[in-house]
Amino acid sequence: MQDFNNKVAFVTGAASGIGLAISKALLNAGANVMMADINADGLQAAAKSLGFDDSRIGTVVCDVKNAESVNTAAKATIDAFGKVHIVMNNAGVGLGGFPGSIPLEDWRWITDINFLGVVYGVEAFVPLMQAHGEGGYIVNTASMAGHIAAPGMAPYHATKFAVVGYSEALAQELEKINIGVSVLCPTWVKSNIHNTASKRPSADPESPMPNSKVYQAMKNFVENGISPDVLADLVLKSMQAKRLYIFNDPEAKAFIAHRSKAIMEDYDACLEDLGLS
């Protein structure tokens, strides 16, 4: 997508962090934006902070783990702007824990938001993009955690790996109907992701955040992460360049190479055992 002027975008998780920054970048590039978030008060404040006329910006409360809520938000976008060209499936949460100690209700919570929330966005908006015949673009927010894994955050890794694989398939499937796909895979970004575990179903109301070294480290990394505004500019440039993957961190590149090497070593070893090398 080369030109964002007069395009219509739908952005989830738009009340803060990456979603808010992408909304701002799209508005500055000439697009009209429907900002969606589960946090009604935060969403209104965020939209107001951008300083754009109501004819260019809209808001809708949306719980991405609920398919009907996403469908309602899609209808609100069409009612407000007539069509939609860009969908940013960005809303997400973080969750960690040791295997055998993570409540299944928490697993369902993070899966419903981080992965199925993306699926619901795609299923709701692809037919609407097809209907106007002008093409479109989908950006799904995954993470570098969708390519490499570390101890302590298995639920987060599982959902982000799912988003990467899903996006890779979508890119092949939607190209023939002129809908581009990118998957956003950042490392640490200044946002509220490190606090989202307080909303997990099993959270103690008196002490909602997990008390672990993993979460303390995550908090430190996030607070010292890349500016979401810088990342948002990269997202728009990557859409224009039709990049499937959007990366930001030069230090993480070595981890990708290490994982690739480990995969190929085991692949070759298995073929050798089968006498197929």
DSSP single-letter state for residue 201: T
* Opening angle at CA 232, ends 217 and 144, nearest 5: 40
Residues in the chain: 277
Contact 87, 136 (CB under 8 A): yes
Distance CA 251, CA 165 (A): 23
How many CB atoms neighbour CB 273 within 10 A? 9
Which residues are identified as catalytic?
156
Q: How far is CA 95 from CA 98, 126, 153, 200, in A?
A: 11, 29, 6, 8
CA 183-194-59 angle, 5° bins: 65
229: which 2 tokens?
């505004």
Dist CA 153 CA 95 (whole Å): 6
Give the residue ranges of DSSP H helices in 62-190.
Answer: 67-81, 104-111, 117-132, 154-174
Tokens of 3: 């030109």
Q: Is 55 helix (H, G, I), strand (E, B) or coil?
A: coil
Instruction: Provide the residue type at 154 as one letter.
Output: A
